[in-house]
Amino acid sequence: MANLAEALAKAGRSLGEGGPKPVAKAGKMDHPLMTVLVIEDDANVLTFIDRVLSQRGHTVLAAEDPDHARFVLAEHGTEPDLLLVDIVLPGSNGLDYARAAKASNPALKIVFMTGLVHRSPSVLRSGLGPVLHKPFTVDELFKTIDSI
């Protein structure tokens, strides 16, 4: 526990820290820091997103499907600020999960991801959030997140 406390102290945070979300310092980053729930069944894509968002200062809650996401959220104990969800998941649907998540948390921001371009129109019509087409770059990810 001491090592975790020391690492958090070096990062300017503490155990059990609450309150408003900090804003990254101007210069390298100039965006609000968020808790981001990422639901993606491709382990490589999930790892990539986790890494780049964490490096940007966001708290990332990574899940491979909606059931795993529910577990991760229960363990974390707070609502995410942003849901980044794949549209097509094995045995599930990212759009349905997003609708339910938005109903329980109206302030939730949502960004959909897909490698299947033909899936975008119905999601766009939902009005819940933009669609990020895979493969995407770090800049495209940040630009999309920053635009909502």
Q: pTM for this one? A: 0.78
Rounded to whole angstroms, how far apart are CA atoms 84 and 98? 9
Cα 34 to Cα 61, 85, 116, 117, distances in angstroms? 11, 15, 27, 28
* pLDDT for the residue 116: 83
pLDDT in tens, 2-13: 333 343 344 443
pLDDT in tens, 87-112: 988 888 899 999 999 999 999 999 99
Residue carrying the six token digits 């299947």: 116
pLDDT in tens, 19-71: 334 444 433 456 789 999 999 999 999 999 999 999 999 999 999 999 999 99
Rounded to whole angstroms, how far apart are CA atoms 148 and 82? 9
In this structure, are residues 119 and 87 in contact, taking their beta carbons and an 8 Å threshold? Answer: yes
Determine the topology of domain 18-147 in CATH.
Answer: Rossmann fold (3.40.50)
| Every domain of the chain and the residues it spans | 18-147
Rounded to whole angstroms, how far apart are CA atoms 76 and 70? 10
